[in-house]
């Protein structure tokens, strides 16, 4: 959420930013919020003047009674009552105006970084760099669901009976590799100085609206019926929410955290849920990294974080590339974002396995997360990045470590988490 003062002083910059995000339908909101803000400040001034008058008149009442000027004192008491009645109406109007302003401000997109490429959607995202050689073997790589079935590792028929489309059972070695990758991701982040956390898997609506836009919320989140609770779509939500309404000591920044959680997403939109495989599903598990830092340090941390993801996947013998998200592909709260994509030797193209984002002070402003230093109190910057999200990362692992004989090679880094196992052999049903 943009600072209302910044919008008031730089309306043309905010409008230009809206145009860069191809959300021209929101341009009128800038002038509307300026008008509402002007009215709100006028009401506040009027209210402050009435309170000053009330205090002055109230202070005189006692003296008037003492001086025997009872009639004048009673008139003053009546004036105080009239002022109180005016203030009740005025404060209610001011409250309604401020709520309307807040609602509008939460729909106006954050100011993107000047380095973000301008484009309408993800088709116009820009490749930054490739890491590792994208190999296409001289033998066929089966579809990942077929690889899992050969391992006796996937049962979607049963999950269809228990839960419906978009869910799955992972079994045996497939489930073991999935858990091993999560455990390795956890230890990898701890070794890089991040503090490990397991957060709540449900959060209240006030936290949801603090960490994401209304559109994202509607398309992603599952609500618990009859309660003010939502299932998290990523642990970033509850990790950032942990600091809601807190003033963090400046010398404790940066705060670097890595968190594990299951994640739940409705996946509303054009992509849809995958019928056979496990690429796009309603439920998955994730190791996340979250950073809270000073504003001047946020871009440095942004670059550190995506590089950690790249190095993690390379340690699993998975070639990856980074893709700069264009303006139209950025969620409204994001300042800058890049995707980490893994190589698919079967499809001979890259696919998304993670995303790194800096959101400036947008989440902190919505949730009231501040720090206090020698130059006063200010909002922190928040960043998040996927270390590993499985089963999507599992797909990349299976395809890139699939051998001609149908076995799966276990990379050296993962072997300690697989009891020293070096190869998983196919298990035909």
Residue 139's φ and ψ, nearest 5 degrees, are: -130, 160
Report pLDDT digits (tens) over 139-167: 999 999 999 999 999 999 999 999 999 99
Residue 408: CB atoms within 10 A of its CB come to 23
Let me know: does 171 contact 156? Beta carbons within 8 Å.
no
Report pLDDT digits (tens) over 50-97: 999 888 888 888 777 777 888 888 788 888 888 999 999 999 999 999
**Average pLDDT of span 114-127:** 96
Residue 399's φ and ψ, nearest 5 degrees, are: -65, -40
pLDDT given for residue 429 in this prediction: 45
Best CATH choice for the domain 4-105 from the list 1.20.58.60, 3.50.50.60, 3.40.50.170, 1.10.287.40? 1.10.287.40
Report pLDDT digits (tens) over 34-47: 999 999 999 999 99
Instruction: Give the CA dihedral 114, 117, 118, 124, nearest 10 degrees.
Output: -160
pLDDT given for residue 269 in this prediction: 59
**Average pLDDT of span 176-195:** 97
User: Measured between alpha carbons, how far is 349 from 239 in angstroms, rounded to an integer?
Assistant: 33
Query: Would you list the DSSP string of 172-209?
Result: HHHHHHHHHHHHHHHHHHHHTTPEEE---SEE-HHHHH
Contacts with 284 (C-beta within 8 Å, 6 or more apart), sequence order = 262, 263, 389, 390, 391, 392
- Percentage of the chain surpassing pLDDT 90? 83
Three-state secondary-structure class, residue 266: coil
- Between 221 and 192, where is the model more confident? 192
Contacts with 152 (C-beta within 8 Å, 6 or more apart), sequence order = 171, 172, 427, 429
**Average pLDDT of span 221-238:** 94
Residue 290: CB atoms within 10 A of its CB come to 27
User: Measured between alpha carbons, how far is 37 from 34 in angstroms, rounded to an integer?
Assistant: 5
- Please give the CATH topology (third level) of the domain spanning 122-424: BirA Bifunctional Protein; domain 2 (3.30.930)
What the block records as the tokens of 426 is 């196919």
**Average pLDDT of span 311-317:** 96
pLDDT given for residue 122 in this prediction: 92
Strand partners, 389: 286
Residue 162 CB burial class (10 angstroms; 0-12, 13-18, ≥19) = exposed
Let me know: does 188 contact 313? Beta carbons within 8 Å.
no
| Residue 427: band (very low, low, confident or very high) from pLDDT cuts 50, 70, 90 | low
**Which one-letter DSSP state was computed for residue 386?**
E
Check whether 428 has a pLDDT greater than 60. no
| Apex 424 CA angle, 420 and 427, nearest 5 | 145
Dihedral over Cα of 18, 19, 24, 30: its sign:
positive
Range 89-107 burial, b when 16+ CB lie within 10 A, else e: ebeeebeebbeebeebbbe
- Between 195 and 216, where is the model more confident? 195
Closest to 38 measured CA to CA, from 99, 122, 97: 97
pLDDT given for residue 346 in this prediction: 95
Report pLDDT digits (tens) over 19-31: 999 999 999 999 9
Range 221-241 burial, b when 16+ CB lie within 10 A, else e: bbeeeeeebbbbbbbbbbbbb
Residue 187 CB burial class (10 angstroms; 0-12, 13-18, ≥19) = middle
Domain borders along the chain are: 4-105, 122-424
- Percentage of the chain surpassing pLDDT 70? 98
Residues shown for the chain: 429
58-62, 118-122, 346-350, 425-429: which range is least confident on average? Answer: 425-429
**Average pLDDT of span 1-5:** 90
What the block records as the tokens of 71 is 């009639």
Strand partners, 408: 402, 424
Report pLDDT digits (tens) over 259-307: 999 999 987 655 666 678 899 999 999 999 999 999 999 999 999 999 9
């Amino acid at each position: 959420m943009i600072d209302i003062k910044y919008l008031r002083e730089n309306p043309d910059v905010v409008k230009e930013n809206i145009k860069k995000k191809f959300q021209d339908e929101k341009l009128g909101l800038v002038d509307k919020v300026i008008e509402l803000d002007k009215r709100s400040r006028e009401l506040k001034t009027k209210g402050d003047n009435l309170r000053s008058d009330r205090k002055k008149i109230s202070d005189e009442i006692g003296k008037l009674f003492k001086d025997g000027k009872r009639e004048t004192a009673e008139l003053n008491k009546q004036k105080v009552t009239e002022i109180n009645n005016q203030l009740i109406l005025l404060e209610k109007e001011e409250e309604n105006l401020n709520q309307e302003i807040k609602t509008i401000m939460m729909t106006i997109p954050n100011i993107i970084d000047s380095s973000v490429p301008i484009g309408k959607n993800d088709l116009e995202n820009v490749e930054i760099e490739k890491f590792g050689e994208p190999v296409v073997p001289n033998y066929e790589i089966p579809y990942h669901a077929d690889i899992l079935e050969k391992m006796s590792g996937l049962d979607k028929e049963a999950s269809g009976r228990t839960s419906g489309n978009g869910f799955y059972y992972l079994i045996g070695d497939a489930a073991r590799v999935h858990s091993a990758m999560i455990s390795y991701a956890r230890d990898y982040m701890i070794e890089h100085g991040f503090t490990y956390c397991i957060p709540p898997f449900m959060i209240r609506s006030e936290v949801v609206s603090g960490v994401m836009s209304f559109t994202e919320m509607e398309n992603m989140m599952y609500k618990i019926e009859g309660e003010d609770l939502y299932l998290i779509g990523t642990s970033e939500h509850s990790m950032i929410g942990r600091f809601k309404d807190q003033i963090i000591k400046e010398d404790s920044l940066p705060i670097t955290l890595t968190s594990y959680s299951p994640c739940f997403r409705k996946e509303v939109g054009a992509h849809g849920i995958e019928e056979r495989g496990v690429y796009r599903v309603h439920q998955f598990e994730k190791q996340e990294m979250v950073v809270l830092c000073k504003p001047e340090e946020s871009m440095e941390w942004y670059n550190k974080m995506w590089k950690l993801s790249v190095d993690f996947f390379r340690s699993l013998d998975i070639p990856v590339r980074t893709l700069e998200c264009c303006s139209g592909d950025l969620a409204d709260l994001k300042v800058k974002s890049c995707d980490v994509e893994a190589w698919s030797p079967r499809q001979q193209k890259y696919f998304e396995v993670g995303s790194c984002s800096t959101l400036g002070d947008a989440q902190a402003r919505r949730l009231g997360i501040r720090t206090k230093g020698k130059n006063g109190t200010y909002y922190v910057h928040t960043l998040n990045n996927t270390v590993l999200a499985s089963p999507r990362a599992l797909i990349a692992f299976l395809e890139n470590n699939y051998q001609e004989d149908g076995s799966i090679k276990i990379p050296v880094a993962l072997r300690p988490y697989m009891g020293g196992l070096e190869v998983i052999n196919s298990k035909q049903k």
